């Protein structure tokens, strides 16, 4: 059995769908952050069968929970301090997201004005559907 050390201080992103850890790693821009990151793929899980896990050493802030909610609102975020879980979070689908989803409508102003932020409003919580605030094109939240 694989043994990854216990975090003294940091964040553990747990219950990630198998294969989703690398997508979260990329979305969170972890490759450009000055912290140690462990990615565990295909870990055994009583709840899910198999799952991915990301451990981020030393970081307690700077994680965009809105982004994680759009990717997968069923993941668990554990905040670790002194080797103990001090807080558990389950990200929710945010009401509005900016620069997480990209509008796919070629006529949308975001396609023409490159610096304009991509903004979406949640329109269907059950199905994770968002609508562009500029052109009203619907988009499903990114799924892992």
CATH number at residue 26: 3.30.70.140
Kindly state whether residues 66 and 110 are assigned to the same domain: no
The total domain count for the chain is: 2
29 and 51 belong to one structural domain = yes
Contact in structure between 80 and 8 (CB atoms under 8 Å): yes
Residue written as token pair 């301090």: 81
The mean predicted confidence, pLDDT, of the chain is 86
* Whether residue 103 sits in one domain with residue 74: no
Residues 80 and 102 in one domain: no
Q: Are residues 50 and 65 in the same domain?
A: yes
Query: What is the pTM (predicted TM-score) of this model?
Result: 0.78
Q: The domain containing residue 56 runs over which residues?
A: 9-89
Residue 122 — very low, low, confident or very high, per pLDDT cuts 50/70/90?
A: very high
Distance CA 53, CA 13 (A): 6
Complete DSSP assignment for 18-41: TT-HHHHHHHTTGGGSSS-EEEEE
Strand-pair partners of 139: 130
Examine residue 119 and state whether it is found in any structural domain, yes or no: yes
According to the model, what pLDDT value does residue 107 have? 93
**108 lies in the same domain as 128:** yes
């Amino acid at each position: 059995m694989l043994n990854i050390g216990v975090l003294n201080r940091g964040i553990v992103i747990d219950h990630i769908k198998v294969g989703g850890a690398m997508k979260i790693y990329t979305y969170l821009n972890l490759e450009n952050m000055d912290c140690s990151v462990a990615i565990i793929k295909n870990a055994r899980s009583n709840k899910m069968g198999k799952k991915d896990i990301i451990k981020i050493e030393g970081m307690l802030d700077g994680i965009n929970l809105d982004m994680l909610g759009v990717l997968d609102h069923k993941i668990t975020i554990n905040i670790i301090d002194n080797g103990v879980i001090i807080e558990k979070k389950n990200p929710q689908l945010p009401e509005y997201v900016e620069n997480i989803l990209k509008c796919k409508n070629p006529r949308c102003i975001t396609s023409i004005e490159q610096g304009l932020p991509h903004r979406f409003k949640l329109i269907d919580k059950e199905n994770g559907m968002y609508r562009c605030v500029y052109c009203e094109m619907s988009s499903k939240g990114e799924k892992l």
